[in-house]
Amino acid sequence: MLNRRDFAKLSVTAAAAVSVTRNISAATPTIIKPNRLKPGDTVGLVLPATAAFEADEIQFAKEQMEAIGFKVVIGKHAFDKWGYFAGHDRDRADDINQMFADDTVNGVVCYTGGWGSPRVLPYLDYDLIRRKPKVLIGYSDITALLNAVHKKTGLITFHGPVGGSTFDPFTLDNFRKVVMTAEPAGLLPTPSKKPNELIDRTNRILKIAPGKATGPLIGGNLTMIATLMGTPYQPDTTGAIFFLEDVHEEPYRIDRMLTTLALGGMFDKAAGIVFGRCSDCGIKGPSLSLEEILRDRFGSLPIPAISGLSFGHIEQKLVLPIGARATLDADGGTLRVEEGAVG
C-alpha cells in the first residue's frame, strides 16, 4: 500500500471580505481576511484528499457542523472514490471552486486530510477565491491546500480541525474564538492537565531557543511543507512565525524533512519557529530523540523556537490562522495571535 510519505514524493510531480493593506513579503499578495462565520451560516463540506471509508463518516461530519450551528452543503463529488482519493483531481478541485463560487456558502470545511491535496492545486481557481474569499479550514494533508491558497491569493486560511475531528470543549472554544469572532484570539491556551497527573506531562512546552518575535503565522504539517518545496506553492517564511507538526514519522524522517527545509532556506528567513507535536513518532533502533533533533536544527538559529504547542494530529487542537500576525515568546513558552483573522 502506498503510504503518506511515499505519496508525498509523487504528489509534487502530479501536480464580502475585509482587505488589509499589509504585505508579508513582495511575493505574497495583500492580506485578505474572510468574513467570520456565524450561527446559521452555510458551510461547504469538501474532500480534497482521501476518500471516506464509509459514507456515514461524511454524514457524521455534517452533523458535527450542524451541532455547532451551521447549515451544511456537501460537495458534489464528496462520495466519489478513485483509488485512495475522494474522486479524480479535477473533480475534487471543482468541489472547492464551486463552494467559493456559491454566494450562499459562507465557509469551506474539509472533511479530512490523508493524502491527495497537492494534486488539486493546479486546478484551483485562485482568481475566484481571491474575489470571493471565505473561511477555509483543515489540517494534515490539507496543509498543502491552505498554504497554496494563502500564497496565491493572500487569503488568511485556518490550520485547525476538520469536519471529522473531535470537537471537545477546548477545540470548539478555540474554533469559535478564531473563526467566529473578529477580535484577536490573543494568548493561545494549553489544554488542562489530566486529572491523574501531579504536573502536566502531556502539554509541556519545550523552550529550544530564547527570544521574542512577531510575524505572520505560516506552516502546518511538516511532510506537506516539505512536499511543496521547489513548487510554485512553496510557502514564503520571510519574517514569519513558522509552525510545524507531524504524525507517524520516525525521528530520522523528521530530521530528513527538517534538513530539506533548512537547505531551502526556510529557517533562515523565519522570525521564529513553533514545533507542535510529533504524534505516534516511535523510535526503532539507534536514534536521536525528537528533542535532540529539534535542538540540533533550531537551537543554534538566532531566532526564538519552542515545541509542544497543541495543534495538529492531537484530539485537543488549536486553530492557527495562516497569514495572521502573531507573537512568539520563547522565554515564556507562549504564542499570541495579535490580530483578528476574520472580518
- What average pLDDT does the chain have? 92
- According to DSSP, the residues that pair with 162 across neighbouring strands are none
Q: What is the pLDDT of residue 90?
A: 98
User: CB neighbours of 83 closer than 8 A, spacing ≥ 6?
Assistant: none
Three-state SS letters, the chain:
CCCHHHHHHHHHHHCCCEECCCCCCCCCCCCEECCCCCCCCEEEEECCCECCCCHHHHHHHHHHHHHHCCEEEECCCCCCCECCECCCHHHHHHHHHHHHHCCCCCEEEECCCCCCHHHHHHHCCHHHHHHCCCEEEECHHHHHHHHHHHHHHCECEEECCCCCCCCCHHHHHHHHHHHCCCCCCEECCCCCCCCCCCCCCCCCCEEEECCEEEEEEEEEEHHHHHHHCCCCCCCCCCCCEEEEEEECCCHHHHHHHHHHHHHCCCCCCCCEEEEEEEECCCCCCCCCCHHHHHHHHHCCCCCCEEECCCCCCCCCCCCEEECCEEEEECCCCEEEECCCCCC
> Each residue of 36-50: pLDDT tens digit?
999 999 999 999 999
Output the pLDDT for position 23: 42
Q: Span 236-253, mean pLDDT?
A: 95
Write down the pTM of the prediction: 0.92
Q: How far apart are CA 78 and CA 76, in angstroms?
A: 6
Q: Is 287 a catalytic residue?
A: no
The answer, yes or no, to whether residue 233 has pLDDT greater than 50, is: yes
Beta bridge mates, 324:
none
Cell numbers for 183, please give them: 477580535
Phi then psi for residue 326, to 5 deg, are -140, 160
53/9: higher pLDDT: 53
Query: Does the active-site annotation cover 140?
Result: yes
Q: Residue holding cell 508525498?
A: 8
Which cell numbers in the block locate residue 181? Answer: 469572532
**Share of residues in the chain with pLDDT > 90 (%):** 85
- pLDDT tens string 269-326: 999 999 998 887 877 778 899 999 999 999 999 999 999 999 999 999 999 999 999 9
Residue 5's pLDDT band, with cuts at 50, 70 and 90, is very low
- Report the distance separating Cα 323 and Cα 242, nearest Å: 11
Q: Domains of the chain, with CATH numbers?
A: 4-179 (3.40.50.10740), 186-337 (3.50.30.60)
Tens digit of each residue's pLDDT (9 = 90 or more) over 249-266: 889 999 999 999 999 999
Candidates 222, 241, 215; CA nearest to 305 is 241
Q: How far apart are CA 99 and CA 71, in angstroms?
A: 13
Which of 249, 307, 313, 339 is catalytic? The answer is 313
Asked whether the predicted pLDDT for residue 13 surpasses 60, the reply is no
First-to-last C-alpha distance (Å) of the chain: 44
At 28 the pLDDT is 58
pLDDT at 248 over 90: no
Q: What is the pLDDT of residues 63-82, one digit of tens each?
A: 999 999 999 999 999 999 99
Instruction: Report CA dihedral (67, 68, 72, 75) to the nearest 10 degrees.
Output: -110
Give the distance from CA 6 to its chain's centroid.
20
Task: Tell which wins on pLDDT, 248 or 86.
Answer: 86
CA distance 340 to 17: 13
Residue 9 has pLDDT above 90, yes or no: no
Question: Which residue among 245, 249, 307, 310 is the active-site one?
Answer: 245
Catalytic residue among 11, 140, 165, 307: 140
User: Which of 12-26, 152-166, 207-221, 275-289 has the lowest average pLDDT?
Assistant: 12-26
CB contact at 8 A, 58 and 111: yes
